[in-house]
């Protein structure tokens, strides 16, 4: 990719934001891979990642996110969820920042709906037809092999050897009379949208500047600085609303490791009532995690960390 | 920025399309979820840990990348209707119809969140412009309207996956206390039909209130043109009583009465009603009370305007009818025994005299106490300490007066406990917090019918940790909207949902009962 476009965040539903990814942020490999694109789509004001390849690429960049959809294998349980992957604000911003600056504006003009619609419908119907034919052939073959297996088994077990003509006769009967019902064809219910520019209602807008960086609330700014700093140190971060903090910090991939810290973002000059400090320390000790008070110094200054540990006077 | 020179295969992988052989082989996929092993505490960098991590990741990707493959016969076909924001079913609904969906214009329809949930479960395929919607397109199409946000859908999906029956909340459908007391039988067409009616502007209720009892009354009068005076009064009374129930009907079906009124008038052949203004002012029409104790005397003839046609009625003497009226006291339930008991009590009361306090005592010990107290009180009226009782500010309680602990506590309590549902302490109601869903218990255990769902188990209010905690006024407003059903706050945090509810609590009061 020569010119890598930057991305813009707007709140148009379904806005398609695409940006390239540089090296994996985990620092595992030094070899330069071709930049994979991560497709991020906005649903309302939430950023979602739909394709598995994009989810993997985000994970390799160190962005964990959270899966919020139903798992196709078992859709009626809440233990393990499936795609889409929901990205938090800081995660989205981090992914957008990992790119070379460029000011290409790329937009796909909306095609005339009639033509594209027609073509797509025909394409879809053709796909269904060919799939049906292929599957009926496969079903027939499977039946035949099952029949052969049954006949072969009977031959060995029975002792009386049937003439081969009988087997081929049955196979012929199968060939003629086998009907693969239309309702038995397997159909795929797609998770992600087909292709990048499939939906002609949207416009893909990529512009150079990120809007509103000056208007961002100081709190979200400090949160992002803490997030970025922790990420650069190699930690994996997820959200910690249930634990009373801002982030849960893992020393390695959350799949295999327990979280070590609950990070709470506090401004350097903010005065905290002691009761709040006690409350958050108590929360942390209840779940056996260390509370980390994180205070970013400034846009370029390092982040100060203070850990709280509950200890007694002995 | 798709590379235009992708081959067919890589494009297939890119767009996650399965080939027919993969589709066919998917029939025998395993349906079990892998069990997650124990987590490690610290990354030690050893090869074993790396291997386990890699295995977990591979398992994870395998699960995440799986696509939904279903038999075409198991899929229900639906069509998205963007103007009405509903999904219309083209093939008959499956088992989910027991708890989801509604009928409109003879077609089976689903709300967008129900349709999206069914799409994710693999039971429904929604078509828009002849092409099937993918899950992503479903999210972007159904959840982009102002009616439903992604967070609300996440709560909806979470609860449905747990098995609850979740439906949208409509404030107008919450039955009031009075309605529940009346215990009306559920009308046949509740649900979406009623919703649709409420959405469309309804005609003036006042206009039809007056017109609906009129046809019934005119029918009664015209059916007895030659009735005697008393029969007319007797018929007027039930038709007046018909007015309140007609009221209830009218508010629910006010747009029907417009159609009902003209045909009945044509039957009568009487003068047509003069539009919304009623000719009958029941406040000024006198209905004589013949059962009153003091005999009213002969009845005057009624206003000729109230009578149909050219009926002339003279003065009616009611003495003969009064003799026939049943003036005996009504038999109370319990019969003779109860009456005998009451008569005994009457006699006892007459014996003890008019002293209410003495009447109220139940035993000789109490009577003696009362007499003692009275004697003492009359003697010791001046024994109260003057410095306490003669000034402007007197003690709160006289220790010689007998009183219970509860009353004493009541006297000294400064801050009275209040129930938060009290109207007296309600703060300004802000409308930012809205109830989103009604949640009913899973349909397996209870008798759930879409037409009469009954009282919900709880109502859901969706919010997130980023937002503020609800203020007291908002909580009161929401709980008042919900009636008797408890309200649960569902807090959504990046797909993780926590449920909080506020329970009313009174400080316990340790009193001997």
| B202-242 pLDDT, tens digit each | 444 444 444 444 444 444 444 444 444 444 444 444 444 44
What pLDDT sits at residue B385? Answer: 76
Q: Six-digit token pair at B342?
A: 């009451």
The one-character DSSP state at A242 is G
Sheet holding A261-265, edge to edge: A236-239, A247-250, A261-265, A290-296, A303-308
Residue A31 has pLDDT above 80, yes or no: no
What's the mean pLDDT when you consider all of chain B? 74
Residues 6+ apart with CB under 8 A from A44: A11, A13, B143, B144, B149, B150
What pLDDT sits at residue A205? Answer: 32
What pLDDT sits at residue A197? Answer: 40
A211/A224 Cα distance (integer angstroms): 16
What pLDDT sits at residue A275? Answer: 94
Which of B46, B115, B135 is the best substitution to test chain A (most A C-beta atoms within 10 A)?
B135
- More reliable by pLDDT, A163 or B80: B80
Say if CB A220 and CB A246 are below 8 A apart: no
Residue A220 has pLDDT above 90, yes or no: no
Catalytic choice (A236, A250, A288, A305): A250
Q: Six-digit token pair at A114?
A: 């009639």
Residue B71 has pLDDT above 50, yes or no: yes
Matching residue, tokens 């209720």: B205
What pLDDT sits at residue B402? Answer: 78
Q: Average pLDDT, stretch B333-344?
A: 78
Instruction: Select from A57, A62, A52 the least CA-distant residue to B63.
Output: A52
For residue A195, give how far its alpha carbon lies from the nearest alpha carbon of chain B (Å). 6
What pLDDT sits at residue B264? Answer: 40
Distances (CA, A) of B81 to A194, B94, B111, B195: 21, 20, 11, 18
Chain segment B356-392, per-residue pLDDT in tens: 777 777 888 888 888 888 887 766 555 677 778 878 8
State which of A102-116, B39-53, B203-217, B248-262 shows the largest mean pLDDT: B39-53
Q: Average pLDDT, stretch A119-145?
A: 90
Residue B197 pLDDT level (bands cut at 50, 70, 90): very low
Residue B154 has pLDDT above 80, yes or no: yes
pTM for this entry: 0.68
Contact B67 A190 (CB under 8 A): yes
B447/B338 Cα distance (integer angstroms): 42
Residues of A within 8 A of B95 (CB-CB) are none
**Bridge partner list, B88:** B79, B109
Residue B438 pLDDT level (bands cut at 50, 70, 90): very high
What pLDDT sits at residue B330? Answer: 63
What pLDDT sits at residue B279? Answer: 62
Residue B37 has pLDDT above 50, yes or no: yes
Residue A33 has pLDDT above 70, yes or no: no
Instruction: Select from B303, B246, B253 the least CA-distant residue to B280.
Output: B303
Cross-chain CB nearest to A134 (options B21, B150, B163)? B21
- More reliable by pLDDT, B52 or B214: B52
Residue A105 has pLDDT above 70, yes or no: no
What pLDDT sits at residue B87? Answer: 93
Q: Are strands B124-128 and B131-132 parallel, antiparallel or unpaired?
A: antiparallel
ipTM of the complex: 0.80
Instruction: Select from B97, B96, B159 the least CA-distant residue to B458.
Output: B159
Long-range contacts of B217-225 (CB under 8 A, 24+ apart): B217/B242, B217/B280, B218/B264, B218/B265, B218/B268, B218/B270, B218/B308, B219/B264, B219/B267, B219/B268, B221/B307, B221/B308, B222/B268, B222/B269, B222/B270, B222/B308, B225/B308, B225/B309, B225/B311
Cross-chain CB nearest to A67 (options B29, B121, B495)? B495
Which of A75, A128, A245 is the best substitution to test chain B (most B C-beta atoms within 10 A)?
A75
- More reliable by pLDDT, B81 or A27: B81
What's the mean pLDDT when you consider all of chain A? 76
B314/B270 Cα distance (integer angstroms): 23
Instruction: Select from B189, B193, B186, B249 the least CA-distant residue to B216.
Output: B249
For residue A301, give how far its alpha carbon lies from the nearest alpha carbon of chain B (Å). 27
A269/A263 Cα distance (integer angstroms): 17
Distances (CA, A) of B445 to B163, B165, B379, B440, B448: 11, 11, 72, 11, 9
Q: Six-digit token pair at B91?
A: 């093939």
Q: Average pLDDT, stretch B339-345?
A: 84
B380/B401 Cα distance (integer angstroms): 13
Cross-chain CB nearest to B43 (options A52, A77, A251)? A251
Report the residue of chain B nearest A129, measured CA to CA: B20
Lowest mean pLDDT among A35-49, B46-60, B486-500: A35-49
What pLDDT sits at residue A312? Answer: 66
Q: Six-digit token pair at B117?
A: 């949930």
For residue B171, give how far its alpha carbon lies from the nearest alpha carbon of chain A (Å). 25
Residue B98 has pLDDT above 70, yes or no: yes
Residue A101 pLDDT level (bands cut at 50, 70, 90): very low
Residue B294 pLDDT level (bands cut at 50, 70, 90): low
Q: Six-digit token pair at A248?
A: 């849960």
Q: What share of chain B in percent tops pLDDT 70?
A: 69
Residue A304: active-site member: no
Contact B1 A83 (CB under 8 A): no
Catalytic choice (A155, A198, A258, A304): A258
Chain segment B443-496, per-residue pLDDT in tens: 776 677 888 888 889 999 998 888 888 888 888 888 888 888 899 999 998 888
Chain segment A262-276, per-residue pLDDT in tens: 999 998 888 989 999
What pLDDT sits at residue B389? Answer: 80
Report the residue of chain B nearest A132, measured CA to CA: B20
Size of interface A-B (CB pairs under 8 A): 227
**What sign does the CA torsion over B14, B20, B21, B26 have?**
positive
What pLDDT sits at residue A180? Answer: 85
Report the residue of chain A nearest B119, measured CA to CA: A189
Residues of A within 8 A of B135 (CB-CB) are 50, 69, 83-84, 189-192
Q: Six-digit token pair at B245?
A: 């129930």
For residue A135, give how far its alpha carbon lies from the nearest alpha carbon of chain B (Å). 6
Residue B176 pLDDT level (bands cut at 50, 70, 90): confident
A257/A236 Cα distance (integer angstroms): 10
Cross-chain CB nearest to B161 (options A77, A182, A238)? A77
Q: Average pLDDT, stretch B120-134?
A: 92
Cross-chain CB nearest to A192 (options B16, B120, B122)? B16
Q: Six-digit token pair at B408?
A: 């004493």
Lowest mean pLDDT among A305-309, B318-322, B381-385: B381-385
Residue A250: active-site member: yes
Distances (CA, A) of B134 to A130, A188, A275, B116, B239: 20, 10, 50, 10, 61
Residues of A within 8 A of B67 (CB-CB) are 72, 188-191
What pLDDT sits at residue B18? Answer: 82
Lowest mean pLDDT among A153-157, B396-400, B505-509: A153-157
Contact A43 B139 (CB under 8 A): yes
Residues of A within 8 A of B35 (CB-CB) are none
């Amino acid at each position: 990719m020569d010119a890598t476009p930057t991305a813009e965040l707007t709140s148009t539903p379904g806005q398609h934001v695409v940006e390239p990814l540089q090296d994996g942020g985990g620092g595992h490999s030094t070899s330069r891979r071709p930049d994979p694109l991560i497709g991020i789509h906005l649903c309302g004001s939430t950023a979602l990642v739909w394709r598995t390849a994009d989810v993997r690429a985000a994970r390799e960049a160190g962005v964990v996110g959270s899966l919020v959809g139903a798992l196709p294998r078992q859709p009626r349980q809440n233990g393990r969820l499936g795609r889409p992957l929901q990205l938090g604000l800081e995660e989205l911003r981090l992914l957008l920042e990992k790119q070379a600056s460029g000011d290409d504006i790329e937009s796909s003009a909306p095609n005339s709906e009639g033509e594209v619609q027609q073509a797509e419908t025909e394409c879809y119907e053709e796909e269904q037809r060919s799939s049906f034919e292929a599957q009926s052939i496969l079903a027939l073959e499977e039946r035949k092999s099952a029949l052969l297996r049954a006949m072969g088994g009977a031959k060995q077990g029975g002792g009386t050897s049937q003439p081969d003509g009988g087997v081929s006769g049955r196979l012929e009967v199968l060939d003629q009379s086998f009907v693969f019902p239309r309702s038995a064809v397997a159909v795929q219910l797609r998770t992600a949208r087909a292709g990048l520019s499939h939906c002609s209602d949207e416009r893909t807008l990529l512009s150079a500047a990120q809007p509103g960086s000056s208007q961002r609330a100081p709190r979200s700014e400090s949160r992002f600085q803490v997030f970025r700093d922790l990420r650069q140190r190699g930690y994996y971060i997820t959200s910690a609303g249930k634990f009373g903090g801002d982030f849960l910090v893992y020393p390695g991939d959350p799949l295999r490791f327990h979280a070590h810290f609950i990070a709470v973002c506090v401004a350097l000059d903010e005065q905290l009532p002691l009761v709040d400090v006690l409350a958050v320390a108590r929360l942390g000790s209840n779940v056996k995690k260390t509370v980390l008070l994180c205070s970013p110094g400034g846009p370029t200054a390092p982040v100060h960390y203070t850990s709280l540990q509950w200890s007694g006077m002995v | 920025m798709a590379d235009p020179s992708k081959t067919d295969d890589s494009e297939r992988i890119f767009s996650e399309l399965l080939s027919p052989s993969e589709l066919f082989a998917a029939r025998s996929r395993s349906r079990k979820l892998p069990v997650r092993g124990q987590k490690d505490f610290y990354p030690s960098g050893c090869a074993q840990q790396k291997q386990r991590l890699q295995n977990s990741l591979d398992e994870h990707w395998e699960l995440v990348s799986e696509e939904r493959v279903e038999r075409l016969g198991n899929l229900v076909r639906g069509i998205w209707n963007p103007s009405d924001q509903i999904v219309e079913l083209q093939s008959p609904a499956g088992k989910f119809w027991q708890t989801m969906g509604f009928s409109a214009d003879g077609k089976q329809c689903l709300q967008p969140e129900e349709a999206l949930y069914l799409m994710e479960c693999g039971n429904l395929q929604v078509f828009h412009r002849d092409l099937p919607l993918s899950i992503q397109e479903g999210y972007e199409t159904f959840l982009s309207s102002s009616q439903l946000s992604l967070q609300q859908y996440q709560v909806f999906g979470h609860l449905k996956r747990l098995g609850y029956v979740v439906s949208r909340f409509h404030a107008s459908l919450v039955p009031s206390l009075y309605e529940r007391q009346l215990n009306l039988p559920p009308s046949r067409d509740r649900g979406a039909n009623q919703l649709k009616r409420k959405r469309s502007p309804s005609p003036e209720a006042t206009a039809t209130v007056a017109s609906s009892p009129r046809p019934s009354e005119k029918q009664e009068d015209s059916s007895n043109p030659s009735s005697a005076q008393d029969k007319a009064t007797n018929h007027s009374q039930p038709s007046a009583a018909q007015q309140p129930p007609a009221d209830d009907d009218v508010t629910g079906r006010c747009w029907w009465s417009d159609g009902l009124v003209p045909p009945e008038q044509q039957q009568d052949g009487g003068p047509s009603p003069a539009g919304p203004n009623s000719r009958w002012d029941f406040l000024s029409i006198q209905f004589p009370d013949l059962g009153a104790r003091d005999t009213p005397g002969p009845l005057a003839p009624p206003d000729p305007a109230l009578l149909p046609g050219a009926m002339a009625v003279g003065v009616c003497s009611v003495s003969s009818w009064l003799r026939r009226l049943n003036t005996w006291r009504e038999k109370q339930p319990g019969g003779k025994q109860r009456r005998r008991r009451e008569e005994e009590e009457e006699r006892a009361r007459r014996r003890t005299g008019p002293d209410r306090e003495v009447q109220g005592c139940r035993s000789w010990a109490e009577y003696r106490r009362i007499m003692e107290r009275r004697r003492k009180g009359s003697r010791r009226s001046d024994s109260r300490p003057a410095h306490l009782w003669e000034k402007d500010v007197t003690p709160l309680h006289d220790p010689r007066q007998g009183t219970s602990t509860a009353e004493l506590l009541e006297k000294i309590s400064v801050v009275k406990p209040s129930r938060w549902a009290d109207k007296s302490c309600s703060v300004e109601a802000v409308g930012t917090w809205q109830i989103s869903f009604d949640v009913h218990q899973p349909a397996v255990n209870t008798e759930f019918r879409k037409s009469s769902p009954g009282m919900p188990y709880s109502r859901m209010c969706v919010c997130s940790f980023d937002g503020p905690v609800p203020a007291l006024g908002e909580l009161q407003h929401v709980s008042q909207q919900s009636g008797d059903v408890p309200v649960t706050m569902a807090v959504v945090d990046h797909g993780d949902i926590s449920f909080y509810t506020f329970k009313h609590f009174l400080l316990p009061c340790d009193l001997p009962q």
